[in-house]
Chain A
Amino acid sequence: MKNSACFCILILALFLGSPNPSIAQESNDLNIYGFTQVLYTHRMTDYTISGGAGLDYDYSQSFRSTSFSLHQVNLFFQKPINDRTTFFLNLEASGSYSSRTPSGYLEIPEGWISYRFSDALEVKAGLLLPKFNNLTEIKNRLPLFPYLIRPILYESLIASVFKSEDFRPDKAYLQLTYFKPISANYIIEGAIYLGNSEDSFLAREETTDINDLELEERTKVYLGEDLNTAMLIGGRVGIENVLNTFKFGISGTFDKDNKNRIEYSVFSLPELQTPILGEVPRYRIGLDLSFTINDKIAFESELLSAFHNHRQIHENPAYKYADLNKFYQYLNITYNFTSQYYAFGGYSISKDNTYEFVLNDSPDAAGLLGYTVGGGWKVFENTAIKAQVFHGRSGQNKNLDYKVTFFALGLSTVF
């Protein structure tokens, strides 16, 4: 309660201390801006788990809900420290955040300082969203998207289905970016970054969780400490038009996938579990392509693949056919009828082979498919009303039949 009060006072002080952005300011003023998205959803979920493949289980459930929510509020604090140095903080509250109810969450997904050596070369240090494909850096900037419910890998409403880090990096701590003009309108851009291993390596308790009581008593760790000496190394190379009418890039990361604990299937099939496989070297590769045609049609797509080095795993005959690789694909097309009205349609697919060697025809390998259509009306320059139907389902599979449909109506405002 005391923390919440302090937080409110801080926000109020920042607002009161910030002049209206439309009137002249000193160039080093603190800039505060952000966005909100209010959402109404009607959700229909149906799933049936059958007892095939030795699973002694049969279960069906249907669930319906209708809900309003303050889907997301983001406050950005941007402070130019001098002509080349900038501080940036992103404060995000999601799912009608309340510590009283409780609901939603409040987090700081970004807080960094950048230094520009030149227009082309910049370094960022701090918690940041790395450059990986087109979407990762803007995954939580909802007003930039035509839709309300994002593709399956980015949407918090279906985040519980799988770990997004299995497919793409979530954060980094040091990033160097560079661009070079290759013509009047095109540039080549590049980035390299470093970060922690995936979140599952981070300490959630002030112990090491290493199953060695004597060592654990002597080795205290702090919450959030990366309990691993490996790091995330990533980068991106791309070409884009300065007017953003064309963008293509290749992204990649190298890190370790944490298979030190028993994991359950993304669809939580009872009694299905994978063995402990240790820390598995992993490469995540991404391709993204987006372009617009005459300001009428906007095309956006990406491919992601997570490749694992299975050499050590395959040395154990029991795991000879283990395959932890994953695949994700996304495509969306938006048609602008006028500058105010638009319609869109798209799909996204994820597939995960991890459980296939434990259970033939595992639901994960069949994949999760998401289809969507919708439209929007830009009421004012910074305000849009959006409507969307999203349907997600498991791929053809004898063990699981899972369907979820969202009807969503939302209001998105930039301030």
Chain B
Amino acid sequence: MISGLNTFTLLLSLSLVQPNEAQQIDSIAVIISNKVEQAPISREVLLNIYTLRIQNWDDGTRIRVSDYKGDADIRNQFYSYLGTKVKTVQKIWLRAQFTGRISPPRMFYEQKDILNEVLENPGTIGYIPFSAVPEGVHILLIINHE
């Protein structure tokens, strides 16, 4: 019953926060599955993960990067925090993909898909509004709106 209620609450919160709508996200939570042993990370580590320099978590699990497709507000806010732009990171990813260094990052339109990816594939890193963080994930970093 509690589990059913949690699911309902999660679905309700996900449906209320759609990243593609023009809105300012108050805080963003950077998350991974709680099946991975990982301490909180700094902005520099997060930058190195999303620019694919760091490829394994502390426990050795391979890092999988997930991200939003298109021009979602949360995406722009996230990369602004990292001090860069979506296009710049896309170029880095393309080169890394083409040289075989990484698997292609998983791209999704909806935050619920990012959440599913994080929960189902330990090692996947993603970011969603802080208000939508469910149980079963570690919060690695909270990005507050400046």
Specify which chain A residues have a CB less than 8 angstroms from the CB of B145 in the assembled complex.
none
Q: Is there a chain B Cβ closer than 8 Å to A114's Cβ? A: yes
Shortest beta-carbon distance from A238 to chain B in Å: 14
Cα separation A24 to B106 with both chains bound (whole Å):
8
Residues of A within 8 A of B54 (CB): 119
CA distance A22 to B56 in the complex (A): 22
Considering only residues 1-57 of chain B, those with a C-beta below 8 Å from chain A are 44, 47-48, 51, 53-56
Fill in one digit per residue for A368-384: 1 if any B CB lies within 8 Å of its CB, else 0: 00000000000001000
How far, in whole Å, are A88 and B103 apart by their CA atoms in the complex? 10
A387 CB, nearest partner CB in chain B, Å? 21
Taking a contact as CB atoms under 8 Å apart, the answer to whether A295 and B88 are in contact is: yes
Which B residues are in CB contact (< 8 Å) with A52?
Answer: none
For the complex, is A103 an interface residue (Cβ under 8 Å from B)? Answer: no
Does B61 belong to the interface (CB within 8 Å)?
yes
As a 0/1 sequence over residues 216 to 255 of chain A, the CB contacts with chain B under 8 angstroms (1 = contact) are: 0000000000000000000000000011110000000000
Instruction: Please tell me if the beta carbons of B98 and A144 are within 8 angstroms of each other in the complex.
Output: yes
Chain B residues contacting A25 (CB-CB under 8 Å) are: 106, 121
Q: Is the CB of B55 within 8 A of A119?
A: yes
Collect the chain A residues with CB atoms within 8 Å of residue B94's CB: 143-144, 414
Instruction: Decide if A204 is an interface residue (CB 8 Å cutoff).
Output: no
| One of B64, B83, B98 near A141 (C-beta < 8 A) | B98
* A84 CB–B CB distance under 8 Å: yes
- Chain A residue numbers with a CB within 8 Å of B97 are 33, 76, 78
Min CB distance, B108 to chain A, in Å? 7
**Which bucket holds chain A's interface residue count?**
35 or more
Are B100 and A76 in contact, CB atoms less than 8 angstroms apart?
yes
CB < 8 Å: which of B89, B106, B120 contacts A22? Answer: B106
A242: contacting residue among B48, B90, B116, CB under 8 A = B48
Contacts of A35 in B (CB 8 A): 98
In the complex, the chain B residue whose C-beta lies closest to that of A74 is: B98
Q: How far is the CA of A179 from the CA of B51 in the complex (A)?
A: 14
Of the four ranges (under 10, 10 to 19, 20 to 34, 35 or more), the interface on chain B belongs to: 35 or more
Centre residue among B61, B85, B92, B94 by max chain A CB count within 10 A: B94
Say yes or no for B136: interface residue by CB 8 A criterion: no
Does chain B have a CB within 8 A of A27?
yes
Closest chain B residue to A142, Cβ basis: B98
Choice from B47, B60, B69, B95 contacting A83 with Cβ under 8 Å: B60
B129 contacts A by Cβ under 8 Å: no
If the complex has contacts A33-B104, A83-B60, A116-B55, are A184 and B44 also in contact, measured as CB distance less than 8 A? Answer: yes
Would A84 and B56 count as touching, CB distance under 8 A? yes
Best-surrounded residue of A24, A112, A179, A187 (most CB of chain B within 10 A): A24
**Distance (whole angstroms) from the CB of A272 to the closest CB of chain B:** 40
The interface bits of chain A over 159-200 (1 if a CB of B lies within 8 angstroms of the residue's CB, else 0) are 000000000000000000001010011010000000000000
Given A22-B107, A80-B103, A144-B95: A243 and B121 interface contact (C-beta under 8 Å): no
Distance of B87 from chain A, by nearest CB (Å): 6
The CA-CA distance from A88 to B64 in the complex, in Å, is 17
Q: Nearest-CB distance from B106 to chain A (Å)?
A: 7
User: Which residue, of B94, B103, B106, has the highest number of chain A Cβ atoms within 10 A?
Assistant: B103
Distance, CA A194 to CA B103, complexed state (A): 26
Q: How far is the CB of B16 from chain A (nearest CB, A)?
A: 23
Within 8 A of A (CB), among B66-114: 69, 83-85, 87-92, 94-95, 97-100, 103-104, 106-108, 113
Contact B62 A27, beta carbon cutoff 8 Å? yes
Judge whether B120 and A24 touch: CB under 8 Å. yes
Binding site for A on B (CB under 8 A): 44, 47-48, 51, 53-56, 60-62, 64, 69, 83-85, 87-92, 94-95, 97-100, 103-104, 106-108, 113, 116-117, 120-121, 123-124
